[in-house]
Each structure stands twice: as structure tokens, then as C-alpha cells.
Amino acid sequence: MRTLTTLIAGAACLAGCSVAANRSAAEAGIADFHKALDAGQFDTIYDGASPDMKTASAPQAFGGMLAAVHRKLGAFRSGTAVNWNDSHTMKGEFVTISYAAIYERGKAQESFAYRMLSGRAELAGYHIASDALILN
């Protein structure tokens, strides 16, 4: 019985470490995303994205959307993770983070999905909602 309890506790610790590392990798991905967005490096964001993202959006469409975000909202100022989730699916492991962002010309709610591959986070999805995108 003691061995089983030790094994379960050990597995929980390893899973917890993985979740924390995944979240850190995804948050670093968000910081890199915003730096590239501010620098107008939309191709860099797309090129580093996972096949999930590339299947869902053509490079020109994705780059055009990011250009509009940058043009209408301006430079990224700050942001805070509102909630996050680490999930294991039949398609792989994903970390999703909802993010409250403040840009130069308005606020936005962003949602990032990252596919986790050997401790590396690849952007698998990005969604943004902002009144300023419509009003600016």
C-alpha cells in the first residue's frame, strides 16, 4: 500500500512540474509574440507557429490580421493572464491562456493556444476581442 501511495505521489509531482514548465513556456511565447507584433515581424510569428495554426490560416491572412491589430491598437503596453488551462488531448498537449492586454490605443482580450512539444511552446491559435479594433 505504501508503495502505491508513493508511486501516485511521485506521478502527481512529475505532472505538476510539467504543468508549471508548460505554463512558463507558453507565457514566454506570449512575451515573444508581443515583441514580434510590435516589431512588425508577422512572418516570424507565423513561421514559428505550429502546423495547427498554419492549417487554420494562410500566411497572408494571418499577417494581415496582425498588421490590423498593430495599426489599430498600437504598441503593446502590458498584460495579465486571466486564466489558463493545460490539457492533454488525442491531438497532443496544449496550454491555453486568456490574457487581458493593454495596448497604446485600447484594451483587448486575447486568447493564446500553444501546442507543447518537448518543453517547447508553438503557437497553435490566437484570438483577439477589442472594441478599439472596431472604433479605431
More confident residue, 35 or 13: 35
Residue 2: which pLDDT band, with cuts at 50, 70 and 90?
low
pTM of the predicted structure, to 2 decimals? 0.84
Task: For residue range 43-65, list pLDDT tens digits in order.
Answer: 999 999 999 999 999 999 999 99
C-alpha cell belonging to residue 136: 479605431
**Burial 62-78, CB ≥16 within 10 A → b, else e:** bbeebeebbebbeebee
Domains by residue range for the chain, with CATH: 2-135 (3.10.450.50)
